[in-house]
Structure 1
Amino acid sequence: MSDDGGLALLLLGPAGGAGLYWYLYRFYRNTDKSHDFEHETAVEAQPITGSEFDHKVGKTEGTRNPRIEGDNVKEYRKRVQRVETGDSS
């Protein structure tokens, strides 16, 4: 019977697709070779330290003015400028 060859060829497609998927999954995920950072690495925390350049510059309490002084939100033409390209065609 020639049906056996056709059936084998028909099953080869899904089996090959499943095999290729598994191969690519194992190749890119390589879970058996991955580094388990949380369990294999010891990180000791240290207290936060500042430098001589860290100093307080001001204090903000609440919001009195919802807008930033000098903003240009409503002035579209000032905010967005046309970019000149080298093309003169």
Structure 2
Amino acid sequence: MDNDSALFFLALGPASAVGLYWMLYRYYRNTDKSHAFERETAIEAQPVTGADADRKVDEVRGTQATQIPGNNVGDYRRRVQRF
């Protein structure tokens, strides 16, 4: 084996590693198949309107209550149900 062919095989390893990396990168990232998401999914904005059924239910003022009524933090069996 002469010196030129040995250098060729030594250079073939890193070159094939770079080629494999680039091929896997393009396969998993789909860089050649991407589309312009911002242009293709444009949605026209409309003014916000309130429905007639919207009404105020309750109001909490201050920080007197330390817990939310009806919480189930301490009741593990009711909070996590098994199938």
Please give the TM-score of this superposition, normalised by the length of structure 1.
Answer: 0.60
Give the equivalent residue in structure 2 for 1:48: 48
Paired residues for 1:18-29 under 5 Å = 18-29=18-29
Cα distance in structure 2, aligned partners of 1:47 and 1:72 = 39
The amino acid of 1:40's aligned partner reads: E
Unaligned stretches of 5+ residues in structure 1: 81-89
CA–CA distance in structure 2, aligned partners of residues 42 and 68 of structure 1? 41
Q: How many residues align?
A: 78
Q: Which moved more, 1:62-71 or 1:10-19?
A: 62-71
Taking a change above 3 Å as real, the CA distance of residues 69 and 39 of structure 1, as seen in their structure-2 partners, is closer
Offset at 1:53?
5.0
Q: Which residue of 2 aligns with 1:39?
A: 39
Query: What are the ranges of 5 or more consecutive residues in structure 2 without an aligned counterpart?
Result: 78-83
Separation in structure 2 between the aligned mates of residue 51 and residue 2 of structure 1, nearest angstrom: 84
Correspondence for 1:5: 5
Within 5 Å, give how 1:43-82 maps onto structure 2. 43-51=43-51, 54-69=54-69, 79=76
Q: TM-score, normalised by structure 2?
A: 0.63
